[in-house]
Copies of this chain bind each other. A is one copy, B any other.
Amino acid sequence: MISRNKAKFIKSLQLKKYRKLERAFVVEGAKSAMELINAQYRIIMVVATPQFLLKNEERLATGDFEIIEASEKELSALGSFQTNSDVLAVAETRPNVALPIREDEYTLVLDDIRDPGNMGTIIRIADWYGFRQIIASETSAELYNPKTLQASMGSFTRVNVFYGDLHAFLTPFKAPVYGAFLQGMDVHEAEFAEGGAIVIGNESRGIRPSLEPHIDHRISIPRYGQAESLNAAIAAAVVCDNLMSRRKR
C-alpha cells in the first residue's frame, strides 16, 4: 500500500513544473523500468505489484532505493498510461550538461521537435543507428515527458540528450553539417563523411532559416507519390539509414 504523500509526489511528476522542481521523473512499465534500473540513473523508488517484485527480486535487492508494493489498480491510478500497470520507477533527472563536439561520429541536431512522441521515437532511432548524442533546441519536447520516455522504449538510457542553443553548438563545428529539407540533394545519392551532424527541423516549419548558414549540405528524401511531407521522426530515420549504409570509414 502506497502512502498518500508518496502517491501525490508521483502524480505531481506528470507535470513538467514538478519534474523540474523535484528533479525527478517517472517511467512506467517493466521494460522501461528495468532498463532504467540497469542504467546510470539514480533511482529514488520502485512501486510494483507483488508479482513483479517476486519475479525481479534478485535484481531489485542490489539497488539503493525504496521498494513499495502496490496493487495494479493503485499503479494505474499513479501512472499516465492505461496500460503498463505492473511497475513504475521514480528516478532523479540528470543535469543538462553540454555535449562534446565529436567529429568522427554523428550527432543528431533537433530544431524544435515539439511532439514528445516524435522526440522519443527519434531517441530510439538514434540508439538503433548508433548515434550517441542528440542536441535539441530548448523549445523541443522534454526528455522526461512520459510520452517521450514511452516512445523511446528505454533508449533514453543510452543516448545523451542535451538541450541548448543550436547556434552555439554548430558555430565551432567543423565536420560537415547535413540538414533535411523538402528541397535538396537526393539523400540516395548523397555522400556522407565519416562524422558530422544531421539537423532535423520542426514538424510543420522545418529547419528555421537562421540555422541555414550552418548547414553545408541540404539533403532531401525523394518523393515518388503525393504526400506533402513526411513526419519528422520518419525523415530522421530515413536520413540515418542512408547515412549509415554509405558513410565513409
- By a beta-carbon cutoff of 8 Å, the part of chain A in contact with chain B is 117, 121, 124-132, 151, 153-155, 158, 188, 221-231, 233-234, 237-238, 241-242, 244-245
* B234 contacts A158, C-beta separation under 8 Å: no
A165 CB → nearest B CB, Å: 26
Are B231 and A121 interface neighbours, CB within 8 A?
yes
A155 touches B125 (CB 8 A): no
Closest to A121 in B: B231
With A129-B224, A227-B124 as known contacts, state yes or no: A188 contacts B245, CB within 8 Å.
yes
**Of B117, B224, B234, the contact of A237 (CB 8 Å cutoff):** B234
Establish whether residues A226 and B121, one from each chain, have CB atoms under 8 Å apart when the complex forms: no
Give the residues in chain B near A237, CB-CB below 8 Å.
Answer: 230, 234, 237-238
Residues of chain B within 8 A of A121, CB atoms compared: 231, 234
Contacts of A124 in B (CB 8 A): 227, 230-231, 234
By beta carbon, the residue of chain B nearest A158 is B226
Is the CB–CB distance between B153 and A229 below 8 Å?
Answer: yes
A129 contacts B225, CB within 8 Å?
A: yes
Q: With A117-B117, A121-B231, A124-B230 known to touch, is A131 a contact of B225 (CB < 8 Å)?
A: yes
Q: Choose from B128, B228, B234 the contact partner of A223 (Cβ within 8 Å).
A: B128
CA distance A16 to B244 in the complex (A): 42
Q: How far is the CB of A242 from chain B (nearest CB, A)?
A: 7
Residues of B within 8 A of A226 (CB): 127-128, 130, 155, 158
